Structure 1
Amino acid sequence: MENKPKLKICSLFTGCGGMDLGAVGGFEFQGRKFRRLPTEIVFANDIDSDATNAYNSNLKLFHHKQEAILGDVRAIKTSDIPNFDILLAGFPCQPFSNAGNRKGVNDDNGRGTLFEVCERVLKDKIDSGHKPKAFIFENVRGILSSKMADGTTVPEEIRKRMNSLDYEVSQQLVCASDYGVPQKRYRVLIIGIDRNLNSNGITRFDFTKLDELIIKNKIPSEKNGTGDKLVIGEILKDVDDPGEYWEYSKTTQDMIEKIGSCEHGKEAIKYFKQGLELSAMPKNITEGRSWKNIPPEQLTPRFRKIYDQPKKYHAPKFFRRFAYGEINGTITASAQPENCGITHPVENRRYSVKEIARIQSFPDNYNFSEIPLQSRYKVIGNAVPPVLAWCVIKTLVETLEG
């Protein structure tokens, strides 16, 4: 049987490589193998040296020797990017040029804004006779309410511009815990496929095919009722040595200690080691904590004000501490306990680098040790979870192959 050529991938806003790892496959997570995909990365770029250093420390896992290039993507010439089939881009949602008075794809500095760089690269490749077959744009869910100057939403603007390049566009808000990732992380996926591929029976990316892939490959999914395999206790049950972690400031440490460990305590990890069903464990296995567990008289003035006027402040769950029987919330780049669940369920500390890497679905052999400790939290928090990326890109590859 003749081997098909690999689909070539251009990766912009690459970060430390979460999406790229998913795009090539060939890794293991939680005892499950995510097999190699018929793809290869031909170009990768990021402006953050910590991200590119982490990426370039893991080239073996990407099955290539092509290092990620450090630099501003807006300064890269399309002619310096090899021809490719799929564009991956998790661009930050920067303001677009004024939609009613745009100067091509240029801003006042003569450099396109970040989505428009993707648009420019696609246009240039089309003009050179090498039209990419597809693209995947990934963004925070805030993009759904972001608007252009004329009131058009940013996703709708992206759709219009990509339609004009003859791509059929699909869009969906997805939760990572529905696709094998032990984290309730919501992201918007905008996926386009070249309309000229219709002769193969391809029209657009069908997100129901993504759901079918989860079932076929028996990947744990909260949506499918198998989310018990994604709770913190399952993910951490064999972490005997958590490794390095970033210590809290004294003020934050005091707050964490006042909140206290989850009621199930350290001993509860034994239930997961024994392989018990979540339903057979004590009820408090799913009871997390937050600043609201601190006695009111011990609260700082700021939190006392929120406590006294919950309706005014919508009683936010700052300093969230997820329990062993819960799926963790979003891990952010800042890794601050005030706005993300970064505190260990029973130990009064941040999750270690090894632990948050697992919560983001990185394999244990992914090397983050070449960059400073605080930077590891940043690049991991910014990453696209590799398992989510694998599910999406495998579905896209199957779609393109017909």
Structure 2
Amino acid sequence: MKKNKIKVVGLFSGCGGLDLGFKQAGYDIIWANDILKDACETYKLNIGNHIINEDITKINLETIPSADVIIGGPPCQGFSGIGKRDPNDDRSALVYSYLDVVNRIQPKIFLFENVTGIKSSKASDGSKVIDNLKKAFEDIGYHINIYTLNAADYGVPQKRKRVFIIGNKLGTDITAPTQTHFDNVPDKKQWVSSFEAISDLESPTENGNIKYKQEPICDYQSLMRKNSNETTLQIIPYSSPTDKEIIKHVKPGGNYMDIPDEVSTKRIMYFKSTGGRTTTYGRLDPEKPNYTLNTHFNRPNIGCNIHYNEDRMITIREGLRFQSFPDDFHLISKTKRNYYVQVGNAVPPLLSKAWAEHLLQYLTEKPDAKAIHIAKSLKRQPHNPKLVKEYVFANAENQSE
């Protein structure tokens, strides 16, 4: 099977981070959907016109084309309803809509992405959400593996951990992609730092259109700039006068604990008294990757979003860099809020591409799924003449292709 013939359907695609990684790896994305109109317009601009702007629960499943692979992850707020399939629970329906599409299409492989909280979440009946999902996929014929991956381990300048449920009808275990970047491991590629991620970008402007202030200093910058001589969305972020004063006091790699009491708000004083919240009012450490980028990275009080040496929040383009979107990827949004929603909700394309390239060996290797299934049966019934004959025939077919 050739790379460009492996067909993919994307669910809950957003602006297309997961889909982009598969496209970069040579897959053919033939259909996608998302409920956010701005995200769909961004997707069309950068990936293709095959995305449908509609609530997945309202789409006729018969209209979704057959595919070899299904990718995506439903919003996590529906997991509380997984214990019992309640048709009146719209949030629960999002999870089961993914399951229903997989059941209808019967792809060779599916990739389900979500937040790490899914591992500890309990359903309404007290059972574990992750166990319920695993069983639900097994009940429709899929072999399941579950992994928690850190995006920084795959060249993304962000310590973003996500859970991946990988299902297949090949009857085999699918491993996780091989780690490519490491945290202080000698003779290995190191994690991409915040400085390496964004240091070649000019300071923000009113319209956000900039050229680069220097030649690339690392492989990551070269990769992000591969098709670009300039870029967009490097727009001056807004901060209130109070936030501007607070930001001045936070050191690189620091957080709310650096803010003097006389400048601190009541909320900051509460944080100081109760502890925790490492990334709150955080400033980037130039020598380390960013923490998880969220949908509020225009605010200092949610996440580590202060530039490492300029007294400001990071820009939309810098957010895209931390997510590993290339500089020729542009966003469409009618509201300021939806710029941040699109970026913060995305799967980093480099992590997606690692999965896509890794899965090629399972989608193209021989023996095929039939031979694997027969081989497993032979282990249980080694002297069954019918199975021996089927196995020999299946492998003979493979050799002749």
One-letter code of the match for 1:57? L
Matches within 5 A, 1:233-252: 233-242=195-204, 243-252=234-243
Shift, 1:102, TM fit: 3.5
Give 2:393's aligned residue: none
Q: Deviations over 1:43-63 (max 9, x none)?
A: 11111112111111113xxxx
> Partner letter of residue 20 of structure 1?
D
Query: Could you tell me how far apart the structure 1 residues matched to 2:321 and 2:347 are?
Result: 13
TM-score (norm 2): 0.77
Moved over 6 A (4+): none
Q: What's the CA shift string for 1:105-161, capped at 9, x where partnerless?
A: x2356x961110011112223xxxxx2111111101111111112322111111001
Cα 1:227–1:318 change in 2 (3 A) is farther
CA contact (8 A) 1:96 1:113 kept: no
Relative to structure 1, the CA distance from residue 373 to residue 4 in structure 2 (aligned partners, 3 Å threshold; closer, same or farther) is closer
Matched AA of 1:14: S
Tell me the CA shift for residue 316 of structure 1.
4.5
**Secondary structure of 2:244's partner?**
helix
**In structure 2, the residue corresponding to 1:57 is in which secondary structure?**
helix
Give the C-alpha shift of residue 395 in structure 1.
0.8
What amino acid is the match of 1:23?
F
Q: CA RMSD in A?
A: 2.3
Give the match for residue 137 of structure 1: 112
For residues 215-273 of structure 1, what are the alpha-carbon distances to aligned partners after superposition, in whole Å with 9 as ceiling and x for unaligned? xxxx43438564645001111232135421431222222221233x53xxxxxxxxxxx
Residues 356 and 108 of structure 1, relative CA distance in 2, 3 Å threshold:
closer
Q: How does 1:20-59 map to 2 (within 5 A)?
A: 20-25=19-24, 36-37=25-26, 39-59=27-47
Mapping of 1:289-308 within 5 angstroms?
289-307=254-272
Compute the displacement of 1:86 (Å). 0.8
Match of 2:50, SS? coil
Distance 1:162 1:303, change over 3 A: same
Q: Deviations over 1:343-387 (max 9, x none)?
A: 111111111122111110011110125554442222011100000
Aligned to 1:318: 280
Query: In 2 relative to 1, CA 384–257 (structure 1 residues): closer, same or farther, beyond 3 Å?
Result: same
- Write the distance in 1 (CA, Å) between the matches of 2:8 and 2:184: 30
Q: Distance in 1 between matches of 2:309 and 2:139?
A: 53
Matched-pair contact (CA < 8 Å) for 1:181–1:387: yes
Q: Distance in 2 between matches of 1:86 and 1:3?
A: 14
Q: Distance in 2 between matches of 1:344 and 1:97?
A: 36
1:14-58 Cα deviation digits (max 9, x unpaired): 010100010111xxxxxxxxxx42x11111111111211111111
Q: Which residue of 2 aligns with 1:340?
A: 303
Most deviating of 240-249 and 334-343: 240-249
Equivalent in the alignment of 2:248: 257
Q: Is the contact made by 1:182 and 1:230 (CA closer than 8 Å) also made in structure 2?
A: yes
Letter in 2 for 1:76: I
Name structure 1 gaps, 5 residues minimum: 26-35, 60-64, 126-130, 263-287
* d(CA) in 2 for partners of 1:294, 1:112: 42
Q: Which has the higher contact order (CA 8 A, sep 6+)?
A: 1
Identify if the C-alpha distance between structure 1 residues 99 and 381 changes in structure 2 by more than 3 Å, giving closer, same or farther: closer
Q: Pick one of 76, 89, 92 that aligns with 1:93.
A: 76
One-letter identity of the residue aligned with 1:206: T
Q: Is the alpha carbon distance of 1:136 and 1:3 closer, same or farther for their aligned partners in structure 2, counting shifts above 3 Å?
A: closer
Rounded to whole Å, the distance in 2 between the matches of 1:19 and 1:318 is: 28
1:140-183 CA deviation, whole Å, 9 max, x = no partner? 11111111123221111110011111111111111100111100
CA distance in 1, matches of 2:336, 2:83: 45
Aligned 8 A contact 2:79 2:121 in 1: no
Contact 2:14 2:40 in 1 (8 A): yes
What amino acid maps onto 2:269 in structure 1? R
| 1:72 and 2:47 are equivalent in the alignment | no
Structure 2 alignment gaps of length 5 or more: 205-233, 366-401
Cα distance in 2 for residues equivalent to 1:400 and 1:164: 22
Query: Do the aligned residues in 2 keep the contact of 1:292 with 1:317 (CA within 8 Å)?
Result: no
User: What is the TM-score with the length of structure 1 in the denominator?
Assistant: 0.77
Kept after mapping to 2: 8 A contact 1:57/1:370 = no
Give the direction of change, closer, same or farther, for the CA distance of 1:229–1:124 in structure 2 (3 Å limit). Answer: closer
Work out whether 1:185 is the aligned partner of 2:160.
Answer: yes
Distance in 2, Cα, partners of 1:121 & 1:4: 23
Q: Which amino acid aligns with 1:113?
A: A
Corresponding residue number in structure 1 for 2:231 = none
Q: Against the structure 1 CA distance between its residues 295 and 102, is the aligned structure 2 distance closer, same or farther, given a 3 Å change threshold?
A: closer
- For the residues of structure 1 that align with 2:63 and 2:203, how far apart are their CA atoms? 44
Q: How do 1:111-130 and structure 2 match up within 5 A? A: 113-125=93-105
Cα distance between partner residues in 1 of 2:126 and 2:4: 43
Given the alignment of the two structures, is residue 400 of structure 1 paired with residue 391 of structure 2, yes or no?
Answer: no
The structure-2 alpha-carbon separation of the partners of 1:223 and 1:157, relative to structure 1 and needing over 3 Å to count, comes to farther
May I ask how many residue pairs the two structures share in their alignment? 334
- Seen in structure 2, the aligned counterparts of structure 1 residues 373 and 82 have a Cα distance that, compared at 3 Å, is same
| Paired amino acid for 2:256 | W
Which SS does the other structure have where 2:41 is aligned?
helix
How far does residue 295 in structure 1 lie from its aligned partner after superposition? 2.2
Aligned in 2, Cα 1:108/1:357: closer, same or farther, shift over 3 Å? closer
Distance in 1 of aligned mates of 2:136 and 2:276:
38
Distance verdict in 2 for CA 1:3–1:255, change over 3 Å: closer
1:98–1:293 Cα change, 3 Å:
closer
